Chains A and B, each alone.
Chain A
């Protein structure tokens, strides 16, 4: 990957950051919120309308799923104990429905999943969540 050009996003006015958020997908929003306390605070302040519903899945794998507009797109964090799969994005199409899975490695997937769930529910606190 080529070196990203630095850009001081946190120096922008709040409304401009909000506009940036509107163009980001939930994974990017979550990654941004994990950068620092300030970025987490900014994420929690975002007031634009809800576009995703959150589902927490516990079956063979542990997942956090974000369902987009009219359920045509869903993005999922899938916990994995295979280190080589970390960060890999798997996209599957099922008719009009697109499912994007991001695999996340952890030595302790259950703990990591729990922490991630807490974080996600905290930053999207005003939004609907289903279990």
Chain B
């Protein structure tokens, strides 16, 4: 299944967060500096667990790696306008969630080329924008949203404080009961019983 050999024929099994496994060629995986540091020289006995990322994301990342296997060595970021048609399609067909997942996975796997292209794409979103326009792009919470969030947090903190106070009170009561001398306890119980007996006899 997996071996330390560096031949591009070698296939490695990758395990995703769903527990599913799939094949990736050694040549594609070697574009990941994380993989190189962890498994290249020692090989892997079973599936390589990249369980922080789902199957779709990992497949997308390795699809890019498989495609760029034959490209010349990476030498710094390439201008977005110089990207091939395949590259542009690759990026355009991703939705935003997938794009963020791919950046995160690519960042973890340390695939320089993919990370830099993705980040260059994000930088283009901010190109030529002033602060107000950037706020719209970055989707920062508005003042009302921040206020609402703060209120919820304050409520939570107040509830937690109440619970803590109650717990402290209960602990204090238990302690005082334990601390009462035996004679005093006997006396209290006797008084209670006497009161009960008297109320019975009156009836």
Contact = CB atoms under 8 A, between A and B. Distances in A.
Interface of A: 1, 3-13, 15-16, 19-24, 28, 31-32, 34-36, 39, 87
A19 B115 contact: yes
Contacts of A5: 96, 125, 137
Contact of B131 (A7, A19, A22, A34): A34
Interface in B109-154: 115-116, 118-120, 122-131, 133-140
Interface residues of B, number: 29
Contacts, number: 91
17 contacts: A4-B125, A4-B137, A7-B122, A9-B122, A11-B100, A13-B104, A16-B103, A16-B104, A16-B107, A16-B119, A19-B115, A22-B77, A22-B119, A23-B77, A28-B128, A31-B131, A35-B138
Instruction: Kindly list the 7 A-B residue pairs having the minimum CB-CB distance in the complex, ordered from nearest.
Output: A19-B119, A23-B123, A6-B139, A20-B119, A4-B137, A23-B120, A34-B131
A127 B139 CA distance: 30
A24 B129 CA distance: 11
Interface of B: 77, 96, 100, 103-104, 107, 115-116, 118-120, 122-131, 133-140
A12 B136 contact: no
Contacts of B126: 9, 20, 24, 28, 31-32
A26 B131 CA distance: 13
A39 B96 CA distance: 21
B131 A28 contact: no
B131 A35 contact: yes
Given A6-B136, A9-B138, A35-B138, 18 more contacts: A7-B96, A7-B138, A8-B100, A8-B139, A9-B122, A9-B126, A10-B140, A12-B122, A13-B103, A16-B115, A16-B118, A19-B120, A20-B122, A21-B123, A24-B127, A31-B129, A31-B134, A34-B131
A13 B139 contact: no
A8 B138 contact: yes
A13 B130 CA distance: 23
A13 B52 CA distance: 14
A28 B104 contact: no
Contacts of B131: 31-32, 34-35
Contacts of A24: 123, 126-127
A21 B77 CA distance: 12
B119 A7 contact: no
Contacts of B118: 16, 19
A4 to B, nearest CB: 5
Contacts of B103: 12-13, 16
Nearest to B119: A19
Contacts of B127: 24, 28
A80 B137 CA distance: 27
Contact of B116 (A3, A19, A34): A19
